[in-house]
Structure 1
Amino acid sequence: MDKDAAHSVTEVLDSQQCWNLLRGVSVGRLAVWLGDHPDIFPINYTVDQGTVVFRTGAGTKLAAALGEFPVAMEVDGVDANTGVAWSVVLHGKAAPVKQLDDVINTFSLPLFPWESGKKDHFVRVPADSISGRRFTVTEPLTWWTPYSGIKPSALE
């Protein structure tokens, strides 16, 4: 097999494929701007009417998500049987769910936070952009080097 044949082809996903993948899982990472640096938080989310909705308690994540800067969200998955992985990234301006009808409707959304505690703030992120990729995971021997198995020195 030649060197190029060993590389898998990355498939660029259209927006509908991205949304379908987002609907299939419920945990992602929310990237926010926090003061003078970026930060990232795990979130449980659901897709609702072409947006992502998550619930959280008061605190750093909520304040940063609703700050002046847009947020990014990343969700990944892999099929262990086929070795096909995917990654979707969404960008948008998060907004609190405030309208009474919207608040009532959010209670019926399948949002199940992993961590206990008061999670009474619902946040909606409409997608200003969404993009995704799908690819076959490379066999470890493809990227393994003779130095991969060397143990770090005692000083590390």
Structure 2
Amino acid sequence: MSESPVSTLTREDSWAMLRDNEFGRLAFHLADEVHITPINYAVDAQGRIVVRTAEGSKLLGLTMNADVAFEVDEIDEHEARSVVVRGRARTLDGHEADETEELPLRPWVDTVKLNVVAISVDELTGRRFSLTRPWRHIRPEKA
């Protein structure tokens, strides 16, 4: 029997992947709906995922229901890796928010994001997928 194309990342590899990236997706509740949004982030010394956000639906959703999920992916020609976090978000203020100033939180969009949110990690799972991409072998040749 052949080796499975899906394997589990170690906890250490999952954390390394979270630390090595800066862009992921945040899933949160807003009233009776589930929303997902791309977001820049950093991992702090306490092992929390830290984001900055402006006032709006994301902050409102996180305030109304702190349960969130967060995902980061990497993909190349041979494999894909995915780390999913489940946790609880809370807004940081005062000294706690000031401590995040040294984190590499680099927004991709030039907007003011004054609110700092930290996600405490309750559950962390990582997986690696070996890609065969059979569709690449059946593409018609370009003229």
TM-score tier by shorter-chain length is 0.7 to 0.9
Contact between 2:30 and 2:65, CA under 8 Å: does it hold in 1?
no
Contact between 2:7 and 2:127, CA under 8 Å: does it hold in 1?
yes
Q: Tell me the distance in 1 between the aligned counterparts of 2:83 and 2:50.
A: 16
Number of matched pairs: 139
1:14 corresponds to 2:13: no
User: Deviation above 4 Å: which 4+ runs of structure 1?
Assistant: none
Contact between 1:78 and 1:85, CA under 8 Å: does it hold in 2?
yes
Q: Tell me the distance in 1 between the aligned counterparts of 2:113 and 2:135.
A: 44
Give 1:40's match in structure 2, choosing from 27, 36, 44. Answer: 36
Percent identity at matched positions?
Answer: 38
Find the counterpart in structure 1 of residue 79 from structure 2. 84
Larger Rg: 1
Contact between 1:8 and 1:138, CA under 8 Å: does it hold in 2?
no
Task: Report the Cα offset of residue 8 of structure 1.
Answer: 4.7
> Matches of residues 100-139 of structure 1 in structure 2 within 5 Å?
100-139=94-133
Q: Tell me the distance in 2 between the aligned counterparts of 1:90 and 1:105.
A: 23
**Deviation by residue 1:60-105 (Cα, 9 ceiling, x = unmatched):** 011112222400001100134xx1210010011100112x322221
**TM-score when normalising by structure 2:** 0.87
1:64 corresponds to 2:58: no
User: Over aligned residues, Cα RMSD in angstroms?
Assistant: 2.2
Q: Tell me the distance in 2 between the aligned counterparts of 1:68 and 1:84.
A: 35
User: Larger strand proportion, structure 1 or 2?
Assistant: 2
Task: Classify the secondary structure of the residue corresponding to 2:86.
Answer: strand
Task: Classify the secondary structure of the residue corresponding to 2:102.
Answer: coil
Segments of 5+ residues of structure 1 without an aligned counterpart are 150-156
Task: Classify the secondary structure of the residue corresponding to 1:104.
Answer: helix
Segments of 5+ residues of structure 2 without an aligned counterpart are none
Contact between 1:27 and 1:44, CA under 8 Å: does it hold in 2?
yes
Find the counterpart in structure 2 of residue 153 from structure 1. none
Task: Report the Cα offset of residue 9 of structure 1.
Answer: 2.5
Task: Classify the secondary structure of the residue corresponding to 2:81.
Answer: strand
Task: Classify the secondary structure of the residue corresponding to 1:107.
Answer: helix
